[in-house]
Structure 1
Amino acid sequence: MSLIDVPPDAATGGACDTAPAVGEEDIRAALARILASEEFASSPRLADFLRYVVETTLAGRADEIKGYTIAVEALGRPPSFDPQSDPIVRVEATRLRRALERYYGSSGAASGVEISVPKGSYVPAFRVRGGPPAPVPAAEAETPVPVAADTARPFRRRRWLVAAALVALFGVGIVASRVQVGIENESNAITVTLGGRASSAALLADRMGLPVLNVEPFEVAGATGPTGDDLHTLEVRLRDAFSRFDFVEVMSPGAAYVARECRGTPPRSVFSLSGLAEGRADGGYTLLARLSDTCSGNIVWSRELDGPRKGADRAGSEQRVVREIAISLMESYATLPARARAQARLDAPDSGFGCIAQAFAVQNRETAAFPGDVRACIERLAARDNGYGLVHSMKAAMLL
């Protein structure tokens, strides 16, 4: 059995010189137990991250462990990955540290060997439980990633005219189709009356096959991070803002629901927004937000923002964060609608949302589909759900 014999890091001043050597076989056995645990078995991305950094270190190539190599070789990012503009590695490293802490605090409490990823580096450390951590060779330090400025897609003057026309025609459509909105007394659920027949917003979304968005509870890292109540308020504001977009259903689906919708006939897009709040020395915190495609497990968007400030301007700063996230995710050409439309055109073209997605693509010359076929699709959809404003908006747009 070989032993991991690593020289002390100069930065530690030799404080770890007395750490007992950890056998390579013991490390691999500890890694196998971690990867088999429930949390890591259900999160392939964390498992791949940990497996890569451990195996690379055991192979004597710890100096190769950098943000770029982790992203490309462990997280599936393309060779064009830019660690300066995409904080995905830092986000996943924070999640990995917390997952390891939970593991050793629960199912791994009796493990004789501990694997950790010390903050400030991506190189793992190994130690016999109860002893000091073994030193690791110096490698790329984990540094904050600057956020690249958003590059907004320019909108031509014609699109502004189209948008204005759609607003006017949408109002006409509401009047013509006899739409009424009310609140049920017992359940407080919003009810929409479509041409004389009532349908809850949830039933309409199911019938149309609209994409689903779940705002998950945000996590906190560090003792100086925000309170759970502060984050809960931000989550509520985000859900409220997202629910104002009529192409998405905001809800908290269970695992069975997600599996059914992802594998349904036709399938439905399901997304989740999660976040990690990291406390700072100045009393504020940094929010690492990310959007995941729940069906594929891929992270499709991530952003680092300054969290809301405490004090009298707290509400205003919360609105700033909500606005930044909503603009990045929910505008017409933003990540969520663009991905959902592409998935609907490919996997669910016969669904209501698939029809809308095709009409949107034709209107913006994103597809070679025959406009007549798409127009007929929209006509059928309008006849079936004549109170859904988005359908009438698309129908009007195709006449311009």
Structure 2
Amino acid sequence: MDRITANDVPDTADTDRIIAEEYERLIASPLFTRSPVLSRLLQFLVEHRLRGGRSAPKAYAIATEALGRSADFDPAVDSYPRVMVGRLRTLLDRYYAETAWVHRLRVPQGSYEIVVQHRAAPPAARSGEETVEAGDVMPSTTPAGAVAPPPARAGVQAAPGGRPVWRWLTLLLVAILLIGAAWWVSDNRGRLFGSDLVPMPLLEVSTPSSGETAPSRAIARGLDGRLRDGLRRFDLVDLRSARAPANTPAADRADYRLDVSIVRQLEAERAEVTLVLNRVADQRTIWSQQFDLVGNQMPRFEAVDTAIAQIAGDYGVIVRDQLQRHPDNFAPGFACLAQFNRMRQMRTTTNARQIEACLRATLDRNPHDPVALNALSLLRFGDWQQLRGTPAGAAAFAEARSLAERAYENGSGSAAGQFAMARANFYSGNCAGGVAMGEAAARLNPYDSDLAGFLGLFKLACDQPEAGAALLQRSLDLDASYPGVPAVTLAFIRSQGGDQDAAMAILDRVPSTSTREPQFVMVRAIVLARQGRLPEARALWRRLVAYTKQPKDASPEKVLQQFVISPVVITRSAAALRDSGVVTALAS
């Protein structure tokens, strides 16, 4: 095959011509016609190059000039340009994979610059007897117009004794074994997890039953809108707008129905609202709540926010009902995600590896699911916390962050995608990025108690105590059923503020599944000491030291480092342990 030589490399004018011609072909292709955002991005990068830009454009320019972001865009916080350039890179690869090309456009990894990649001729089909040539394509990082070294020609020579025959036989045997192994894994996964994703439960919200007066109908419409707005924001419930007709196929019928009734009392300017959640299959009521709306509560109906969170939350009434009915179902899709959330709330890792397997099976079937990517990322961050300082821990962290980036890339408009990246930024020490993306996630789902709680933790660790405490309280207000770490942290804040009774009241409501957690033991010890119950407090501390496998005289900082990530939290907690008398001031 003829090779391109140094003298054949196009000059700058020819390079610009190639870029312009390739751009016209790309922009007219169906792939780019269906992707207007990536088409605009490609146009911007090409025009920057053709205008004589000597360096790659900056992320800020890409965001504001090509991607429509506002002038206050902060590239240090938002990775949107990098994500979109990554998508453009993938789309270019897809286009050229189906095109016989001599010159192609490429955006090298780690760069925002358009470059040209050259090769001598389009690839031709080779027979098994042809000489195999190495380096058919020049390196992708060769800038347009640069001189690339001619690739080496490597002929395959037969060794004495017919070694190539044995080599091919060996390769054939290995290939057969690999195919067999792949078949076994695929077949085994099918038996373990099934071939289809388990869909999210379908929830139907009935039209609120109310009076016939105009004010009553207005209240009903407002309440219906608030309920639908909240329920649609959760990932583990699909919302249906109206009751299915009688002839609807069984697979398309709702799994749950939320009945809403309003009784308005004119003289008292109040309305009594009743919510009843029914399981459609057997028409059984599994949850109900009644509350009053008075005065100015009715225009916004914020009083129903707790009901929304409790019904549709990641470990809400619907998820718990499904788990109760199918406790051993780890099938990909909803069933696996429900098991994941049960594991989180029950604070047990018994089924962690089985859940990891079903999450990976879920992603095998839908690699772009931000909810599953977010869940697996969180699971791997949990592995990292247990293995910090080891090669396995480093590998877990790297995969967790990569999964978070994929969740954001595939779901930047979802709370799951945004919060996955918020968590990754926080664990990487990027408070600004973590808080900004966490706030974006909270705006996408302001009804999620779990999200509010962990964003509160992030803000506390990032030295935003007032905002953090408010979010922790919001988390408990939305759903105090399974408060966990956010509740324990709020108890610590109340104790630091001098209200030991309020702190102990919060701790007393924490489910037993969380009372074995080291954070709970630490905070309870501090509160007990401040209530004057020092022997009990020190007994809890000794238990915590033993749990972390530290020496009896270990400093609080050393003990806390075994289960707390943030240095700020470690410093504050150690000071509280000393100040309360749980440990002596001289402990080191």
**TM-score, structure 2 as length reference:** 0.29
When Rg is computed on C-alpha atoms for both structures, the one with the higher figure is 2
Looking at secondary structure, tell me which structure has more strand per residue: 1
Looking at secondary structure, tell me which structure has more helix per residue: 2
Q: Which has the higher contact order (CA 8 A, sep 6+)?
A: 1
